Each structure stands twice: as structure tokens, then as C-alpha cells.
Amino acid sequence: MKPKTDPKGYWRANIKYVLILLAIWFVVSYGAGIVFKDELNTIKIGGFKLGFWFAQQGAMYVFVVLIFVYVKLMNNLDKKFGYDE
Amino acid sequence: MMNKILLIAEMDVQTWTYILVGITFTLYIGIAIWSRAGSTKEFYVAGGGVSPLANGMATAADWMSAASFISMAGIISFAGYDGAVYLMGWTGGYVLLALLLAPYLRKFGKFTVPDFIGDRYYSKTARIVAVFCALLVSFTYVAGQMRGVGIVFSRFLEVDINTGVIIGMLIVLFYAVLGGMKGITYTQVAQYCVLIFAFMVPAIFISIQMTGNPIPQLGFGSELSDGSGTFLLDKLDGLSTQLGFAEYTEGSKSMIDVFAITLALMVGTAGLPHVIVRFFTVKRVKDARKSAGIALLLIVILYATAPAVAAFARTNLIETVSNQPYANVPDWFKKWEETKLISFIDKNSDGKIQYVADDAFLKGDDGKFDFAKPNLKTKNELYVDRDIMVLANPEIAKLPNWVIALVAAGGLAAALSTAAGLLLVISSSVSHDLIKKIIKPSISEKGELVAARLSAVGAVCVAGYFGINPPGFVAAVVALAFGLAAASFFPAIILGIFYKRMNKEGAIAGMVVGIVSMLLYMMKYKLGWFDEELPSKSEWWFGISPEGFGTIAMILNFIVSITIMKFTKAPPQEVQDLVENIRIPSGAGEATH
């Protein structure tokens, strides 16, 4: 006997996760790496100016983390709504 | 025993290259024979049972081409901060892929991207438009790869570029035709291992030499190990401005152009058919998500190292050549001078190399630098090809011969893996989307497999032809393949998944407007076909370069799609049910016709 499914609720939760994660995606790359680069460059960490670091290193690391967070969130969501395989 | 050790230490670069390239090629062929495809399902999607780890590795190798391996670090070392457009653009697309495309396309469970477009938009016209876009994107891209194979062969094995292209064609032909997606997947796994090892070894050596830190990503932000206490990047900024270049950590492109190029590359990455199709090969929707994460992690290992290599190589280059007597230049300088990757002309006859901003030579009619014609308007006396930054790096840093040979094997792995992935997209577009779905639906499974293999042979020959006779514009348009993918597929797929009301009229109109506007902008501002000469940068729309125009074309596609959709009727109920269905991850089953 399968648990009762709620595709609409599942989709809403999914969209919420995607929007939050994409907001972070946008902020670290287009925000920190491009638009606010000059402001952030006044801060220095080691030999890196912070805006430059986001553009050439930091944004990429955050991207990797974002996908794995999404994988984890969605696996939990699948279980909660009975779509797990 | 002693003699043997001595022998290995003294073996020259060429012998090492033959050995390493020979071993890796034997490995690829062995894998192809072991994993040959017996059915169309194995040929198109490797049977649909690839593990997330294997698929992640294969995607990473598929994705990282000769351009990523050989050219990217070089481009960054000359562009400084501006190089970030490639770093963020070619990695950020995977976030879009993982969150917006891969899981749903896997659930949809067919073989190709035009399959999705054709079914979702219940239209043969949509499918044909998609096939056209897939072929256009893949052919512009693959020609560059075959050329890359030829160049690596010619530089390291001292054979003719064309011979190199033909050797590359034969290898790819062998494993793509025999193994299809299944053969390609497992050779790409091996190729990933080869290319990442080959990229990291010299990077680690050089990082230790320059900063004492074995991790290049940290060495990049460390102090130089010469005891001066200066940070590497500060030193590089200083050297750059002193010689009249833009400050390394600042760059010279306008903010809006950096923004537009990055977005076009990200969206283009997510819309490239040879990347998308990799996610059809895993078993479940959750495997598709996970393998996107693994793929990006494996890609970022190389991509986060490249800017470090770029900064090391740039500093090394300036310090080695700037204001040094030409008579004292190291051996590698002479060697690469012969291949025309470096060229020096003593304009002020002082016997020293003046290396400052601006082009040292004038361009000939073919758009390439003519080393017989010095540009007398500038004091710069040195031309350096960007590719040299990776190719000659081990020599500049005086690394052992086997490391230099390893770079050759890595470059070949990168070029071959990408070429194979693209060829498969081309052959499946022809045999599956055109022959099976449009021209002759009654074709048998066996017949379709034969057709798939024949189209792969045809595609290899066409790619090889362009590799041997590159039309002048191929190199210029490879970077624009992303713009084309961004302008065509991305909006159609996204709307297909997230907007149930989207119908065939909207999607077709959007794709056509997107790709046509991208092509026109490219012809006008990149190739200069409509004017006497190439229009200047000041005429670009909103200051956006042709490389960044994919962003505008994509927005146009979205606007046109949604507007047309508002005035035309909703898609039929079964299509709306299909959309409901792909949003639910369970029950993906295996990819089928």
C-alpha cells in the first residue's frame, strides 16, 4: 500500500528550494564576483582581493555545495512525499 | 639495475610521449572492445544503467575539451580578472542543469534532446527545428576539437597537424562507432583520470616552486617563496601595470559585458545537447541529480586550478623574458619560437626583449599575425601565443620529461572525449530523430543501429574534414556555440517543464527567433559579413559582445515564446499530463523509445 501522494505540495516545496538555491547562486557569482567586485576588492584575505577571489575561486566552490545541498533536500522531500525509489 | 634507472632519467620527451600516449590509446581501445553496444538503447544511452559516479566522471571528461585543458589557463593569464567569465560561466551552468533540467529530462526518459522538444511540443516541426539547432551547435564545437587533437599531436610527436587529425579520427571512429554511448561513457571515465592527473601534476610542482604551497588554489593567494614577503598577486598586479597591461586582478571588459558573457556561457552550458544527453544514461531521477553534483565537483578541481596556473605562468613568463638579453633566453623559448608560438623582433636593436602591452606584429589578410610585419606603433617586441601557458609550463618550470609528456596525453584525452560525445549527439540526431522519428518510422531496431553507426562514421569524416581544412570562421564561432545553445534549447526546455500552458506555437517561434537573432548578430559583429569591415565595439548593442549576445537572444526567445503562447491555444490534455508526470521523480524506469 503506497502512502497517499500530493504532487502539488511536492512541486511547491521543490520550487521553493530551487528559488532559494538559485538566489544564492546569483548572489555569489553575479553579485560578489561581478557587480560588487570593486567594493569587495577593498577587503583582502591573504593575497586575494575578495571580489577577485569570488570571481575566480569562491563562486565555483559555492556552486558545488549548492548542488549537493539540493540533492540532499530533494532526497528528503522524495521520502516525505513517498516518491523515494 | 643502475643502468635502467639512468635510462629512465635520460629518456627524452618524445620517447616518453610515445609511451604515455601509446598506453592511454591502448586503454581506450581495450575499453571500447569490452563495452561495445548491442542495441540502440546501449548505443544511445549506454543501456540506461550507468552509476552516478561513472556518469559524473564521464560528464566531466565530456565537458572539458581541448579548450578547457590547453587554452583556458592561457586565456586567463592574459585576461586576468576577465577570465572569470569562463570560470563562472562554464561551472555555474551545472547548477542550472542540476536544479532545472537534468532530473526532469531523466524522468521523461527518451534518448535525445530533440526527442523531448518533439514530444513536449507535440510537433514534427518543433523536432526538426531542435535537430537543426543540435547539429549546428555540435558541428561548430566538434571541428575545434579535431583541430585540437591535430595540434597536440603535431607539437609533441612532431607529425604534421593533418596526420594528427587523421590519427585522432581513427581512434574516435573506432570507439564511437563500435561502442556508441556505452563505449564512450567508459572511455570517458578513463580519460577523466588521465586528464586530471596530467593537469594537476605540473600545477602542484609549479605551486611548490613559486610559493612553497603544494595546493595551487592556496598558493595562488600566498606569498612568493623568494623571501621578499610579497604576495604573488600583488607582484603580478605590479608587473602588469609597470609594463602597460591592465592590472591583473581588475581586467578590462565592461561590467555589463562580463555579466552578459557569464550568463550566456552558463545558460549555454545547461543547453548543450552533448551534456544533457549524459543524464539520460543513469537509472533513477535521484541518480541524475547526484551525478550532476559529482560532475561539477570533478570539473571544479581543474577549473579552480586553472586560474592559479594562469597567475604562476604569467609571473614566470614576465620575469623570464622582460628586459632580458635575447642571447640568454632559455631553451624552451627557442623551441617554441620554431613552432611560431613565440615570436621576437628587436625593434630598438638593443639585444634585449621589451615585453609591454599592445600587439608586437601586424595582422595579415588572413587575420593572423604576420611575423614579417612588425607593428612599429608600439615598443612591444614579443608575441606569445596563449596556448603556450599550459603547453610550455612544465618546460618553463624545468619539470622532468615525463611530466611534459603527460601534458600531451592529457590534452589528447580532453580533446578526444569531447569530440566523441559530440559525434554521438550528431549521429543520434540523424539516426533517431530524423530517420526513425520522421523519415522512416518503420525502420527495425537492427536497421536503426546500423543507421546510427553509419551516421557516426559520416559525422567523424565531416569533423575530420573541418579539422584538416578549418574555414577561417570556425575558430571564431566555437565560443559562440554556447550562445546558440542558450538562444535555442534552454528556454524551450525550461518552459516545457515549468510552464504547463506553453504550447508548440510559442516554443517554435521562440527557438527560431532566438537562434536567428544570435546568428545575425554573430555574422554582423563577429564575422563582419554585412559590412566592408568588422563594425567596431562601440556599435555593439548595449555594449554587449557577440560572445555575450546569447543572453539577449535567450531573453528574446522567452519573450516571443510567452507572447505567442498567449494568443494561441493551450496544449492538448495528454501533453499537460506528461508535464505533470515528469515533475514527479518516481517511476522513471529505463529510457525507451
Residues forming a β-bridge with B231: B223
Q: Which residue has the cell 572525449?
A: B417
The superfamily (CATH) of domain B9-221+231-317+395-472 is Sodium/glucose cotransporter (1.20.1730.10)
A2 pLDDT higher than 60: no
Q: Which residue has the cell 615585453?
A: B355
When CB atoms are compared, the residue of A34, A48, A66 closest to B258 is A34
Q: Across the A/B interface, how many CB contacts are shorter than 8 Å? A: 128
H-helix or E-strand containing B458?
A: helix B445-468
The DSSP symbol for A58 reads I
ipTM of the complex: 0.94
Nearest of B59, B40, B549, B529 to residue B294 by alpha carbon: B59
Q: Do B220 and A78 touch (CB under 8 A)?
A: no
Chain A, 22-81: which have a CB under 8 Å from a chain B CB? Answer: 22, 25, 29-30, 33-35, 37, 41, 45-49, 52-53, 55-57, 59-61, 63-64, 66-68, 70-71, 74-75, 78
Strands (E), B375-528: 382-384
The pLDDT of residue A1 is: 42
- R_g of chain A, CA atoms, integer Å: 18
Residues forming a β-bridge with B369: B363
B583 chain-A contacts, CB cut-off 8 A: 7, 10-11, 14
Mutation for A interface: B63, B75, B81, most A CBs within 10 A: B81
Angle of helix B401-428 relative to helix B13-34, nearest 10 degrees, comes to 30
C-alpha torsion sign, points B304, B307, B310, B312: negative
A41 chain-B contacts, CB cut-off 8 A: 249
A70 chain-B contacts, CB cut-off 8 A: 98-99, 289, 293
Q: For every one of its 593 residues, what pLDDT tens digit does chain B have, with 9 covering 90 and above?
A: 455 555 555 678 788 888 998 899 889 888 888 888 778 888 888 888 889 999 999 999 999 988 788 888 888 988 889 989 999 999 999 999 999 999 999 998 888 888 899 999 999 999 998 998 888 888 878 877 777 777 777 777 777 778 888 888 888 888 788 888 888 899 999 999 999 999 999 999 999 988 989 999 998 888 888 878 889 888 888 888 888 888 888 878 889 999 999 999 999 999 888 889 889 889 889 999 999 999 999 999 999 999 999 999 888 888 888 888 888 888 888 878 877 778 888 888 888 888 888 888 888 766 677 888 888 888 888 888 877 778 788 887 788 888 888 888 888 888 888 888 888 888 888 888 888 888 888 888 888 888 888 998 998 888 888 878 766 555 556 667 888 899 998 999 999 999 999 999 999 999 999 999 999 998 888 877 888 877 888 888 888 888 899 999 999 999 999 999 999 999 999 999 999 999 988 877 655 54
Residues in chain A: 85
* pTM of the predicted protein model: 0.90
Nearest of A28, A39, A57, A37 to residue B311 by alpha carbon: A57
Q: Which residue has the cell 521562440?
A: B510
A59 chain-B contacts, CB cut-off 8 A: 87-88, 91-92
Report how far residue B39's alpha carbon sits from residue B239's, in angstroms, rounded to the nearest whole number. Answer: 59
Q: Do B584 and A33 touch (CB under 8 A)?
A: no
Nearest of B154, B155, B111, B150 to residue B134 by alpha carbon: B111
Residue in chain A lying closest to B88 (CA): A60
- Cβ–Cβ < 8 Å for B305, B518: no
Q: What is the 3-state secondary structure (H, E, C) of B306-339?
A: HHHHHHHHHHHHHHHHCCCEHHHCCHHHHHHHHC
* Backbone φ and ψ of B493, nearest 5°: -75, -45
A52 chain-B contacts, CB cut-off 8 A: 81, 233, 249
How many angstroms separate the CA of residue B250 from the nearest CA in chain A?
A: 8
A80 chain-B contacts, CB cut-off 8 A: none
The pLDDT of residue B5 is: 54
Q: Do A47 and B223 touch (CB under 8 A)?
A: yes
Q: Do B583 and A52 touch (CB under 8 A)?
A: no
Nearest of B97, B63, B55, B56 to residue B295 by alpha carbon: B56
Q: Do A29 and B88 touch (CB under 8 A)?
A: yes
- The domain spans of chain A are 9-80
**How many CB atoms are closer than 10 A to CB B350?**
12
A29 chain-B contacts, CB cut-off 8 A: 88, 92, 262
Nearest of A60, A73, A58 to residue A21 by alpha carbon: A73
List, in sequence order, the alpha helices (H) in B212-284. Answer: 216-219, 232-242, 255-271, 273-276
How many angstroms separate the CA of residue A24 from the nearest CA in chain B?
A: 11
- R_g of chain B, CA atoms, integer Å: 24
The pLDDT of residue B366 is: 64
Chain B, 231-270: which have a CB under 8 Å from a chain A CB? Answer: 231-234, 249, 255, 258-259, 262-263
Q: Do B92 and A29 touch (CB under 8 A)?
A: yes
Report how far residue B103's alpha carbon sits from residue B288's, in angstroms, rounded to the nearest whole number. Answer: 6
The pLDDT of residue B239 is: 87
How many angstroms separate the CA of residue B343 from the nearest CA in chain A?
A: 30
